[in-house]
Chains A and B, each alone.
Chain A
């Protein structure tokens, strides 16, 4: 009653057929994977940067696969309190669809000092990337991110954005000081976009108007955009609101036409026979 001999298991010719089947299966799987990647209009790169204090923080860089139009800004994006890089993916993609490139940070929500170090590290990293237009680095923050960004911009002159966009932000504590940490007067030499929700229960509309007035008093070009009917979380029209944020940023920086991004275009030719765009991983 023992088991039959092992050699009865194999039949001549069977292995050839099975190898063929396995090869076809592998080809189908690899083909499906390549096809899916080719249909993806975006690239997402997850990596970690190290701040000056030695702590690492996670970042995701989302860009369109289409060749970047001249003047495509790079957005450093920080989500709101309690958010995360994963949860904010739809907002990031919406900004990318308007024609921007987005570097989103998993910043320290508990410590402003660490946040400042992380933004400095991210900006320094961006300045080294050949694909990034360093004249068009924009800071975009939502809620807590907006608070931190404005505080940072008002406390230091060492790093500045080309534009600051605040989505449903409030009145930060740093404005009354009007001096940077180094003691030199704060220079508000970049435009500011303030997006406020009409029915915001966290940062009321009056706070937004007050911020606009104070920043104008500092000499800044400030635009206050009130989104009617929306609450703090932009519920109901969040995708549209983020689209408008992207459009306003592009309009402020002098370019309003988003490139068609919904379908991956054909492979780009290097301009003038030069080098093709280099991805951050290759830089």
Chain B
């Protein structure tokens, strides 16, 4: 008698299911390895990988292959969505219908525009198909009493943990204040950080599953649960170290958001809500309880920011740089989002196509002060909205919202996979993790597994009203936590009010005393006193003085040349350009405009040449300009008289860290190589003009004079918009 004949029929079926699932897990693992290697940097791994990758890229660059592949992928996606939705509730049909419609727009957009060299459409469709297949597999495999989410979480955590040990063979390329940022086998630390963040969340999912009482599944399945939990537990520190060393703020934020989301889902789930019975005062206090811990954490973060925002400890400084107004990294991104939204506003229905987003942004929407327009590419949702239009974006947004909403009640894996999907969305917003090979597949896989129903025995037992995070604690502990959170919040508000409110006050002697006591550090004291004695600040807010103080010192750290202390004070820090009494509040405006232009210049003279070219490309110099303008307003007014241009030039040089003053002839001079030298002049002053094409003085500009033989500038009857365009 064979082994199969000795087993009972349900056990045979379960073993067959396990074998099928094992094949699927190994297949998924192989796919994962292939995707990770496919997205790796040049030189990582064996030599055949880049060759194979190039072959695939060339093959996919063919428009016909891309079109056929996209059409096939959409058919697969629609079929899988139909299989998932046919037995589900109306919300599931709406969710998957929104995805199918959005994918249809992606495919039709590609077929109409054919951006052969842009893989974004293929990435999205492939990721969606992989995610839908995994979700369907999980629902079907549940019939055998097993939950494939567990091996998936384990293998993902193990694979990504293993990738931490293989760093870029080309050597470190990215640094933050001298500290190397790890990139793993990928091209950029942000990609590495996003994947490590996903690994951290998968490891947490495996550990959370281990806390659940074992139930269901074939006999060996329970041992597998323990092994998976052990593997996740071992992977977690490795993943967390890689995640931390990536110095990717988007990855850090994604894990924070995902953990907070799991916490809030548990605290606010209907099952975990406290009973409404009891006195009204106590009921109000109970309603406030869930806010206590988040409020405490937030308040402590705010206090820590004000205390350590200027610290030299690299990781702390990196964390707080997200709230630093002088950090160009996040400010350039925010500025580029504005340009991306303007593209969406100009092309709301059909977008501009994947291939044109970057070029159109660079040419028509990028502000002049941004040296390059790469920041827009870091935001996947806005890039997708600009490429595809609002209908496709609305479809994806509806799909994401419905996939995330209310799935935490299904169990530990569902809530952690959904949290990982949310984390992937966060990194997609800040670091463009979705529009790359592993990111797209992982993102959709997290969403679909998080939204799929677990096997019946694996669903989490609904928490009682007295269980769950924090609810098991007694009322005294809850009241203490609430009180602590309230005290920390009040302290954070007070410190923030002082730091932000005081600089807005008009500069009076009393305000200066307050600033000395609260805002000025010991290192800034002498420069602050120097600035106070330089000019009459009574008409300016304290913020103007503080901007001069802090930006001049900060720019001195950034500049590629050394400035001696007396020169720095007299000709860089000093806000007084000349004796004309021009406005003093110019440093921030000009620093923000000029600093990105000169960041690669090595000498003051080279920086001055760039500055004068930039300024002259933004303003017109004319004797007939309307009225004198302060240096801080000239870039906005765009027209200045020559004397104002000299002031603007001097102010911009000082804001850029170049010691400058007005020479005997009234023109700007800069301190270079130990002596004063004339500053570079703009192109307009060096033009060689022969002849004169201007109109004679007696020409009447307003008269309607024909200058064409056939058209006497008689207005033709207006046409309709359609006629005009045809």
A: which residues have CB within 8 A of B?
Answer: 1-4, 6, 9-11, 13-14, 18, 21-22, 25, 29, 32-37, 39-40, 42, 44, 47-50, 62, 70-71, 86-90, 92-94, 97-98, 125, 127-128, 130, 134-135, 157-163, 189-193, 212, 216, 221-230, 236-237, 239-244, 247, 251-263, 280-283
B: which residues have CB within 8 A of A?
Answer: 87-89, 91, 139, 142-143, 145, 216, 270, 338, 341-342, 344-346, 348, 356, 359-360, 362-366, 368, 397, 401, 405-406, 453, 455-457, 459, 613-614, 616-618, 620, 622, 624-626, 635-639, 682-684, 686-695, 699, 701-702, 704-705, 707-711, 713, 715-716, 718-719, 721, 724-726
**A283 touching B724, Cβ below 8 Å:** yes
B164 to chain A minimum Cβ distance, whole angstroms, is: 36
> Are A263 and B701 also in contact (CB < 8 A) when A157-B709, A228-B687 are?
no
**A189 touching B364, Cβ below 8 Å:** no
**A128 touching B687, Cβ below 8 Å:** no
Bound complex: CA of A254 vs CA of B696, how far in Å?
9
> Are A1 and B624 also in contact (CB < 8 A) when A244-B683, A283-B718 are?
no
User: Out of A190, A193, A242, A280, which one reaches B724, CB within 8 Å?
Assistant: A280
B426 to chain A minimum Cβ distance, whole angstroms, is: 15
**B707 touching A162, Cβ below 8 Å:** yes
User: Out of B363, B620, B688, which one reaches A90, CB within 8 Å?
Assistant: B363
A74 to chain B minimum Cβ distance, whole angstroms, is: 12
Complex contacts, B356 vs chain A, CB 8 Å? 86
Bound complex: CA of A252 vs CA of B701, how far in Å?
11
**A36 touching B721, Cβ below 8 Å:** no
B195 to chain A minimum Cβ distance, whole angstroms, is: 27
Bound complex: CA of A4 vs CA of B453, how far in Å?
8
Complex contacts, A230 vs chain B, CB 8 Å? 683
**B341 touching A36, Cβ below 8 Å:** yes
**A225 touching B687, Cβ below 8 Å:** yes
Bound complex: CA of A130 vs CA of B624, how far in Å?
30
**A160 touching B707, Cβ below 8 Å:** yes
Complex contacts, A50 vs chain B, CB 8 Å? 726
**A160 touching B636, Cβ below 8 Å:** no
A-B residue pairs in contact (CB < 8 Å), sample of 17: A3-B87, A3-B453, A18-B406, A36-B345, A37-B341, A86-B356, A128-B724, A135-B705, A157-B709, A192-B693, A212-B691, A226-B688, A237-B613, A244-B684, A251-B694, A254-B695, A261-B638
Bound complex: CA of A135 vs CA of B689, how far in Å?
26
User: Out of B368, B614, B639, B686, which one reaches A257, CB within 8 Å?
Assistant: B639
Complex contacts, A257 vs chain B, CB 8 Å? 620, 622, 624-626, 639
A103 to chain B minimum Cβ distance, whole angstroms, is: 13
Residue of B nearest to A224 (CB): B690
B464 to chain A minimum Cβ distance, whole angstroms, is: 16
**A40 touching B704, Cβ below 8 Å:** no
**A14 touching B691, Cβ below 8 Å:** no
| Nearest 8 interchain pairs by C-beta | A89-B363, A36-B341, A191-B693, A239-B617, A223-B693, A6-B89, A89-B364, A37-B345
**A241 touching B708, Cβ below 8 Å:** no
Complex contacts, A2 vs chain B, CB 8 Å? 456
Complex contacts, B270 vs chain A, CB 8 Å? 11, 13-14
**A9 touching B687, Cβ below 8 Å:** no
> Are A228 and B624 also in contact (CB < 8 A) when A4-B456, A221-B693, A283-B721 are?
no
Complex contacts, B699 vs chain A, CB 8 Å? 254
B91 to chain A minimum Cβ distance, whole angstroms, is: 7
Complex contacts, B690 vs chain A, CB 8 Å? 212, 223-224
A277 to chain B minimum Cβ distance, whole angstroms, is: 13
> Are A128 and B639 also in contact (CB < 8 A) when A4-B453, A71-B701 are?
no
Bound complex: CA of A227 vs CA of B616, how far in Å?
14
B434 to chain A minimum Cβ distance, whole angstroms, is: 18
> Are A33 and B345 also in contact (CB < 8 A) when A1-B142, A89-B364, A258-B620 are?
yes
**A256 touching B342, Cβ below 8 Å:** no
User: Out of B139, B456, B459, B719, which one reaches A283, CB within 8 Å?
Assistant: B719
User: Out of A239, A243, A254, which one reaches B701, CB within 8 Å?
Assistant: A254
Complex contacts, B88 vs chain A, CB 8 Å? 6
**A86 touching B688, Cβ below 8 Å:** no
